[in-house]
Amino acid sequence: MVTRSKAHEHQCHISLKPTDPTEPKSMKSALQNLHWQQAMRNELHALHQNKTWSLVPQGGFSRPNSSLMVPLNALKQGVQVSHFGGGLFLSQHKYAKEILAKASMTDCKPIGTPLAQKHHLQLEGGPLVDATNYRSIVGALQYLTLTRPDLTHAVNLGTLDYGIRLLSHSSLTLYGFSYADWAGCPDTRHSTTGYCIYLGANCISWASKKQVMVSQSSAEAEYRTMASAIAELTWLTYLLRDLGLSTHSSPVLFCDNTSALHMTIADLFTKAVSKDVFHRFRSKLGVLPPPPSNLRGTDKEIF
């Protein structure tokens, strides 16, 4: 019996065809192209007609370097909201079907097993595909993760009706989980940052992004991931405070890498602190200075 693993069918290689040489390479060149100008006008008209986005003045509750805020009730990128006894259910059934139609996969049958977890895409070595169409489909899948954070491994399971629940009766405790895939990219050896943030029982934020720097150890990759998750937790804490929702406890971040956790403690001693604070930290750790060499030894000689 030959399984897919033995036949190496799970190893996928994708090569992109060279794009059209006349295709604009920047926003400036695209604005000078008549065909692209018309395409942008058509896209903007469709956004207004479908009420996909709602523009608000710059400022307000926005992330750093952001001048556009899209409230949940105004974000209609295929998000369908239905009420049930315990809260809201968000799904993108219609939007997912549109993506399948765009990829000519409407009649494809789902299979009963998820995508392989060690499925690595490489830049070269496989059949050529249309680069423009491939990037368009991948970009559309990014919007589908608004309600499907599990999309990576559930994309071929026939789960069009799946979505995410937001429970109304839940605590305001803010906590998160972080994880890093060390050197997961076979081409660049970059690691992948992954985290999810919960407000009580509701998952309100998640991310999976390739790290910019190459990490020399799994602990370093996990440490970078923890830094990204903590930044998200900090921003959400201030956002909740601005909305008048104060939590009675500090956010908690869970990580399963012991070395990375030790690095967070050691990082305290790499920052400039006052002498009194440093002495207090050292006393808590039980680290004591050696006795003075003479009876007239002073604190200045010791420290």
Token pair of 128 as six digits: 């050529």
The mean per-residue pLDDT over the stretch 64-69 comes to: 32
The mean per-residue pLDDT over the stretch 261-286 comes to: 68
Q: What confidence category does residue 64 fall into, taking pLDDT thresholds of 50, 70 and 90? A: very low
Give me the domains of the chain, ranges plus CATH numbers.
78-105+130-164 (no CATH), 170-285 (3.30.420)
The mean per-residue pLDDT over the stretch 170-196 comes to: 92
Token pair of 274 as six digits: 């006052």
Which alpha helices (H) appear in 103-207, and where do they start and end?
A: 131-144, 151-154
pLDDT at 74: 35
Amino acid, single-letter form, for residue 26: S
Amino acid, single-letter form, for residue 174: L
Residue 58, pLDDT > 70, answer no
The larger pLDDT score, comparing residue 186 to residue 267, is at: 186
Which of the residue ranges 5-19, 162-176, 271-285 has the most confident prediction, judged by mean pLDDT? 162-176
Contact present, 260 and 223 (Cβ < 8 Å):
yes
pLDDT at 66: 30
Distance CA 37, CA 21 (A): 18
- Round the average pLDDT of the chain to a whole number and report it: 76
Question: Kind of pairing, strands 15-16 and 80-84?
Answer: unpaired
The larger pLDDT score, comparing residue 249 to residue 70, is at: 249
**pLDDT-wise least confident of 44-58, 62-76, 125-139, 264-278:** 62-76
The mean per-residue pLDDT over the stretch 243-271 comes to: 79
pLDDT digits (tens, 9 = 90+) for 104-128: 888 888 877 766 666 666 777 667 7
Residue 5, pLDDT > 60, answer no
Token pair of 264 as six digits: 């967070």
pLDDT at 34: 85
pLDDT digits (tens, 9 = 90+) for 127-146: 777 888 888 888 888 888 88
Residue 178, pLDDT > 90, answer yes
Q: What confidence category does residue 1 fall into, taking pLDDT thresholds of 50, 70 and 90? A: very low
Residue 288, pLDDT > 70, answer no
Q: What confidence category does residue 12 fall into, taking pLDDT thresholds of 50, 70 and 90? A: very low
The larger pLDDT score, comparing residue 209 to residue 30, is at: 209
Share of the chain above pLDDT 90, in %: 23
Token pair of 73 as six digits: 């009730």
**pLDDT-wise least confident of 136-145, 232-241, 261-270:** 261-270
pLDDT at 4: 43
Q: Is 69 helix (H, G, I), strand (E, B) or coil?
A: coil
pLDDT at 7: 45
pLDDT at 155: 65
The mean per-residue pLDDT over the stretch 69-92 comes to: 71
Q: Which residues contact 140 (CB under 8 A, 6 or more apart)?
A: 99, 102
∠ CA(221), CA(13), CA(4), 5° rounding? 95
Q: Is 264 helix (H, G, I), strand (E, B) or coil?
A: helix
Q: What pairs with residue 105 in β-bridges? A: none
